[in-house]
Structure 1
Amino acid sequence: MAKRLHVDRFMLGVCYYPEQWPEHLWADDFQRMRELGFSIVRMGEFAWSIFEPEEGRFTFDLFDRAIDLAHQHGLKVILGTPTATPPAWLTHKYPEVLNVSREGVVYQHGQRRHYNYNAPIYRALCARIVEQLASHYKDHPAVVGWQIDNELNCEIDVFYSPADHAAFREWLKRKYGTLAALNEAWGTVFWNQTYSDWDQVHLTRPTVSQSPNPHQALDEKRFFSDSAISFAKLQADIIRRIAPHHWITTNGIFGHLDSHRLTEEALDFISYDSYPNFHTIWPDEGPRPLFDRRWSWHLSVARSISPNFCVMEQQSGPGGWVNRMAAPSPKPGQMRLWTYQSIAHGADMLLYFRWRTAVFGTEIYWHGLNDYHNRPNRRLAEVARIGEELSRIGERIVGSRYVADVGILCDYDNEWDGEFDVWYGPLMRKSVLAWCKALQRNHIPADAVFIRPETTVGDLARYKVLIYPHPAILTERVAQVLSDYVQAGGTLVFGCRTGYKDERGHCRMAPMPGPVAGLCGIEVADFTLIGPQQTPPVIHWMDARLTDVAAEGFNDILRVTAGDAEVVAVYKGDYYDGEPAVVRRRVGQGQVVYYGAAFHEEAARQVCRLLGLQSPMSGVMDLPEDVELAVRAHEPGGARYVFLLNYSHAPQSVRLHQSFADVLTGRSVHGRVEMAPFDVFVLASGEPAARA
């Protein structure tokens, strides 16, 4: 069962750095936090040299005073272990702790996350500072929990120090046992890469075409993940031994890290850092972007790890370092919108980043609630409104869970392998985003559902529809679980490039889609990449009620192998004109659909229509595309809350076909209701969760 945050009231707070501010400001800061409705602060995650100014000498005076004062003002405290920023004395004396690029460039002191996870001396020094902190603060009445490090694998998620190369060899020895097994798994007979001694084995290194062995590259990412998990668990085990009454989390979900296993092995729940205005820096691919609304998908990933989680950093102002990531200021109302976006998706604790904008350092443009002048501003006024609202409704919402009957299947192996393999990785990212757009704009709540080695059919049974866009790596065990899911009544949708690789990344010597060919009742007779200068053919539906769509990205030309498989669409155009493009087969009580191309938003919409998939609020309310629908419910049979989030810069009209209680205002709403730009409704509802 997934680990989740357990609180009896909503916890609203802020990140605070007492070491960066004159002490005479602290009392006023904490007092104003309380007036805004805050109950918790995070501190300490970048303060190693404050706690240990020189090796082996520990001092806690500054944070003792800060935490004592926070406690006097009724604030709880989350302490961060300060291991994301090793101090200068440490990196100077022990340069082996520094991270190294694949090309051999050593990353020096001067920023953050410049260390590696595997240097023995760094692990020992981290264990010592964590033990000192946990022992010192284990009984402080204000301290309730710990954040391990800060944003594991942020900034950089690859590690090539000598310590990492050595640790990788040991990791491979445990995994494969012998060089013969390693050579077979990596296919080293190709291009004469065969290893005859363990000392010859390394993490990937520069090659003439920057194209290392793909199987080595996949194992490398698994190793990076295991290293980060081991590093976090080292710290968590110490805290759990010394302060077992404190909870443990870490913040952020970043690359080359199995955050599900991290949480299972080291944490009590996951925390996420939500910055929706990053859409201005990393915009959506393709037409009709979701902009800040896309962060709902990222929150869904956090929710897949912990159904109730913490947002440790919620955007509260314009974002930017001095040299990059320049995001505009949230418009009036957007901070409130983004706060409720996080809550709608399962956050039961939320802290804004940060209390006051730094006046020195790299993040002088990463604005917090307070500006440099420390005077009232519109962001503080907006957060005061949020604090007042959550003081009234927070207890009613906490513990309820996001409700969805539809899931988009994901897994780490395909995510990591698809970074390197351009024959399906870009398609996967494109198709997931397309499905997010189609489901969001059709007001169909959806979960991110991660396929794990231990996933069972029981884990999937609550979903009526699952979409697995392009799982190139698909094991026989997972294929059987998916088959059992369909047999039991589920609907499963695959896209092209499914099932042709095993867990090593080897291509199977069997017809595609490999272990699900029998389930789908098809084989891939031919296939082609759609090149950038080529016009994709059209997918023509047999059902006249459906609209033809372009068959983008990649085309699997299908051959039906089962008598009960139904061709529901064919290709129009190119040399495979008239050949099957989409095949549906009813199996047991369920059905499986194989869609032979990559998805775009309109294609996903047509598949929804093919399946008869509707919003759970269809017939209950009419919603415009720019308004997101989310439902949280207390189960079983408990109160249900419908979140309506307007991401538009313009008013949006909503029609409610029954009366609802708007818990934010206390008024009853019915009929046509106007939502202001960036407005939020939280409606009490007794309607069913969803229907397909």
Structure 2
Amino acid sequence: MPALPSHRRPAPFDRFWFGAPYYPEHWNAAEREADPPLMAAAGVNAVRMAEFAWDLLEPVEGRYEFGFFDEAIERLGRHGISTFLCTPTAAPPRWLTAEHPETLRMNADGVPLQHGSRQQCCHQSELFREYSRRIVRAMAEHFAGHPHVVGWQTDNEFLCHFAECHCPNCQQAFREFLRERHRTVERLNRAWGNAFWAQTYRRFDDVLTPRPHKPTWTNPAQHLDYFRFLSWGVTRFQHDQVEILRRVNPKWTIFHNGLFGHIDYRGAFARDLDVLGYDNYPFFDPDPERRPRSQAFGLDRARGWSGNFIVPEQQSGPGGQGSYFHDQPEPGEVRRMAWTSIARGADSLLLFRWRTCRFGAEIYWCGILDHDNVPRRRYEEVKRLGGELKRVGGELLGTSVHVEMAVAQCDQEVFDAHSILNLGLAGPGQVAERIHGAAFEAGYAVGCIHPADDLRGVKCYVIPHWALFHPDWVEPLRAYAAAGGVLVVGARTATHDWNNNHIAEPSPGVLRELCGVAVAEYGRQNRPDRRTLELELDGQRVATEGWYETLEPAAGTDVLARWTSRHLAGQPAIVCRSEGAGKVLYVGAYFGEALIARLLPLWARLSGLQPLWPGVPSGVSVVRRDKPGAQYWFFINGTDGERRIEKVPAGTELLTGAHAGADWILPPHEVAIVKT
């Protein structure tokens, strides 16, 4: 098995791909003829096609018609535009589901899904898997030697709208997964704690998929295995396709787009691919002042799974469906959001979509061109970006994003375990975003890194309330601290074993020795406004929220903060112990905004953390990408106003070619990239 992916890994591209998802099946002949030269003028060198065109590619079972896409690929190729094709399995044709309704997914109420949208078929259906292999094999063999087809996207946004399925196919596949995982039903009974509520099974064939509140609470160990099963099933479904594509043409680049829940993107799913794809829509955050930090977190989270990535769908206009419609990006925002993606790890980028569709469920998912096909300011902005990427994009390949502070992220099992038994508390991903956002606003070089990944060069590393915690992560964290890092562990961490059962020993379980502490009492803060709890840190009091713990420090562990309220008064709340050249802190409270604001200066002081480029004005973010012999400093103005940066690094500003080193003016949403 290949090594675990690293957040430092560059994408394996030999050029920077820039373009858009393109749907020629939506347009008339005149529009299709006019599109390639207009794309080329905007610097487009790649498109993504065919992910929802199965009905066109195989209009009746067994009859494949590729002529339409042959013409489209050739037409684009004449203008220097390459194609990433997609396996079209996210939207099966009606003839398939009409003939085989047993391939349809089923919700928790036992209602089959139906044709008329997308993602209606079950990945565990052996019949659907066979149809998937057939269409992928036919497409791969047809396009195998085509010089303009450079790679593939698998399916489209696995588990995007919903994840669960309870159809007969899933019942059978779930049992197959459990046999593979537990080997015997006795081991399954022990792992799930089936002595509770008379849940003991005599054989695997008696096990059903868990359905919440039918009739009441599910077994948290069983439910976590069900979520693991969803990842296992999607990974198996994708592997069918990847295996065919690799066999037909090993040179093709293969990726998937999305990064939705219940999929282990650090495991076999990602190892099957050359690179992960992240669909980036910052305007889902309705607050324009928050968007730069929320976009930064999403991108850093994407990079944390397996390194630099491709953005197969980057927002290029407002998006809307049903009851929502995003803001229209103001002048400069589309380009600024694209450069932000690149700064934080995108090694190729496609803007969704080329032209806004006039029919179907995505009429108001606006693209580079509007419904009337008139090139306006969004097109001109994309054209400017395309020209810049022609000059700069290739030079950024082979670089990695510099990180000095990181929050633990990118473990789907940890997130799923919390979601099953969350106690009304914010999830570890939500809390990580709070911490990341505070560090982002402070100007630190912040990122998201898994505990088993490479922590070299990271001065401060925060684990926010990971109840599920694997013992194998302890020694790498010990080595990280011993080498001089500051490790911060949040309350409730390591309180569950890998089956999602509560541990028998005092918390924080496998981390107790490293943290030098045991939890004596814990509790939920359901109404902190009525029963306020405060702790005192560096002579200042701060109110906590969500969760509290009283701590019993071991010998050699220092108390940094004590509770000051109610029956907790005087008891330790935050402790610190030395580990080699570094420090390990345990925080016996939930990371709310107020507490994070108090703790961040402490973490910086203990770790020597400084802003990446001190003195930049509010609203300007700084990111650095490195490779041997060169550093690339990105200064990004995420505000509606002009910002002046005093003395940027000495070097060449790549977008203008100007010498940098003195003060620099950034207009609203403007970007500067200085090479040193």
Q: State the alpha-carbon separation in 1 of the partners of residues 554 and 139 from structure 2.
A: 64
Partner of 1:565: 557
Partner of 1:675: 666
Change (3 A) 1:511 1:570: same
Deviation at 1:658, TM superposition (A): 5.2
Deviation at 1:485, TM superposition (A): 2.4
Contact 1:5 1:306 in 2 (8 A): no
Partner of 1:482: 477
Give the alignment of 1:226-265 within 5 angstroms.
226-265=232-271
Deviation at 1:221, TM superposition (A): 0.4
Contact 1:406 1:466 in 2 (8 A): yes
Partner of 2:498: 503
Partner of 1:447: 447
Give the alignment of 1:520-539 within 5 angstroms.
520-532=515-527, 533-539=529-535
Contact 2:647 2:662 in 1 (8 A): yes
Partner of 1:576: 568
Amino acid corresponding to residue 318 of structure 2 in structure 1: P
For the residue of structure 2 that corresponds to 1:426, the secondary structure is coil
Post-superposition Cα deviations, 1:666-685, rounded to whole Å, max 9, x if no partner, equal 22344543322212121223
Pick from 589, 595, 609 the counterpart of residue 603 of structure 1.
595
Does residue 644 of the first structure (1) align with residue 638 of the second (2)?
A: no
Contact 2:442 2:611 in 1 (8 A): no
Change (3 A) 1:52 1:430: closer
Change (3 A) 1:155 1:406: same
Q: State the alpha-carbon separation in 1 of the partners of residues 383 and 289 from structure 2.
A: 31
Partner of 2:627: 634
Contact 1:495 1:596 in 2 (8 A): yes
Amino acid corresponding to residue 448 of structure 1 in structure 2: C
Report the TM-score when normalising by structure 1: 0.93
Does residue 72 of the first structure (1) align with residue 98 of the second (2)?
A: no
Contact 1:630 1:643 in 2 (8 A): yes
Partner of 1:211: 217
For the residue of structure 2 that corresponds to 1:160, the secondary structure is coil
Q: State the alpha-carbon separation in 2 of the partners of residues 424 and 470 from structure 1.
A: 13
Contact 1:440 1:629 in 2 (8 A): no
Partner of 1:688: none
Change (3 A) 1:194 1:207: farther
For the residue of structure 1 that corresponds to 2:320, the secondary structure is coil
Post-superposition Cα deviations, 1:526-573, rounded to whole Å, max 9, x if no partner, equal 1111113534322211x35xx5422221111111122x1111111121
Deviation at 1:8, TM superposition (A): 3.5
Q: State the alpha-carbon separation in 1 of the partners of residues 647 and 113 from structure 2.
A: 57
Give the alignment of 1:122-133 within 5 angstroms.
122-133=128-139
Give the alignment of 1:180-219 within 5 angstroms.
180-208=186-214, 210-219=216-225
For the residue of structure 2 that corresponds to 1:42, the secondary structure is strand
Deviation at 1:615, TM superposition (A): 5.9
Percentage of pairs with the same residue = 35
Deviation at 1:430, TM superposition (A): 3.9
Change (3 A) 1:141 1:425: farther
Change (3 A) 1:253 1:264: closer
Contact 1:464 1:490 in 2 (8 A): yes
Post-superposition Cα deviations, 1:594-626, rounded to whole Å, max 9, x if no partner, equal 0111113443343332232566556x5411332
Amino acid corresponding to residue 64 of structure 2 in structure 1: F
Contact 1:442 1:614 in 2 (8 A): no
Partner of 2:586: 594
Partner of 1:690: none
Does residue 665 of the first structure (1) align with residue 656 of the second (2)?
A: yes
**Bigger CA drift: 106-115 or 210-219?**
210-219
Deviation at 1:4, TM superposition (A): 4.6
Partner of 2:145: 139
Does residue 106 of the first structure (1) align with residue 106 of the second (2)?
A: no
Contact 1:513 1:524 in 2 (8 A): yes
Partner of 1:387: 386
Amino acid corresponding to residue 575 of structure 1 in structure 2: H
Partner of 1:374: 373
Partner of 1:419: 419
Partner of 1:339: 338
Q: State the alpha-carbon separation in 2 of the partners of residues 534 and 240 from structure 1.
A: 61
For the residue of structure 1 that corresponds to 2:266, the secondary structure is helix
Change (3 A) 1:657 1:334: closer
Q: State the alpha-carbon separation in 2 of the partners of residues 671 and 598 from structure 1.
A: 43
Q: State the alpha-carbon separation in 1 of the partners of residues 273 and 298 from structure 2.
A: 19
Deviation at 1:651, TM superposition (A): 2.4
Does residue 555 of the first structure (1) align with residue 541 of the second (2)?
A: no
Post-superposition Cα deviations, 1:130-154, rounded to whole Å, max 9, x if no partner, equal 0000000010010000000001111
Q: State the alpha-carbon separation in 1 of the partners of residues 397 and 160 from structure 2.
A: 29
For the residue of structure 2 that corresponds to 1:274, the secondary structure is coil
Contact 1:314 1:351 in 2 (8 A): yes
Contact 1:539 1:549 in 2 (8 A): yes
Does residue 467 of the first structure (1) align with residue 462 of the second (2)?
A: yes
For the residue of structure 2 that corresponds to 1:474, the secondary structure is coil
**Bigger CA drift: 87-96 or 187-196?**
187-196
Q: State the alpha-carbon separation in 1 of the partners of residues 506 and 449 from structure 2.
A: 27
For the residue of structure 2 that corresponds to 1:272, the secondary structure is coil
Q: State the alpha-carbon separation in 2 of the partners of residues 97 and 87 from structure 1.
A: 12
Amino acid corresponding to residue 291 of structure 1 in structure 2: R
**Bigger CA drift: 135-144 or 406-415?**
406-415
Give the alignment of 1:25-36 within 5 angstroms.
25-36=31-42
Q: State the alpha-carbon separation in 1 of the partners of residues 469 and 652 from structure 2.
A: 46
Does residue 170 of the first structure (1) align with residue 176 of the second (2)?
A: yes
Deviation at 1:663, TM superposition (A): 1.6
Alpha-carbon RMSD across the aligned residues, in angstroms, is 1.9
For the residue of structure 2 that corresponds to 1:362, the secondary structure is coil
Contact 1:40 1:78 in 2 (8 A): yes
Contact 2:264 2:413 in 1 (8 A): no
Q: State the alpha-carbon separation in 1 of the partners of residues 102 and 214 from structure 2.
A: 28
Change (3 A) 1:657 1:261: closer
Change (3 A) 1:328 1:266: same
Deviation at 1:450, TM superposition (A): 2.2
Contact 1:4 1:306 in 2 (8 A): no
Contact 2:163 2:262 in 1 (8 A): yes
Partner of 1:328: 327
Partner of 1:117: 123
Partner of 1:689: none
Q: State the alpha-carbon separation in 2 of the partners of residues 212 and 93 from structure 1.
A: 35
Deviation at 1:289, TM superposition (A): 7.0
Report the TM-score when normalising by structure 2: 0.95
Amino acid corresponding to residue 539 of structure 1 in structure 2: L
Contact 1:185 1:504 in 2 (8 A): yes
Partner of 1:46: 52
Q: State the alpha-carbon separation in 1 of the partners of residues 104 and 75 from structure 2.
A: 36
Structure 2: any 5+ residue segments left out of the alignment?
A: none
Q: State the alpha-carbon separation in 1 of the partners of residues 484 and 177 from structure 2.
A: 41
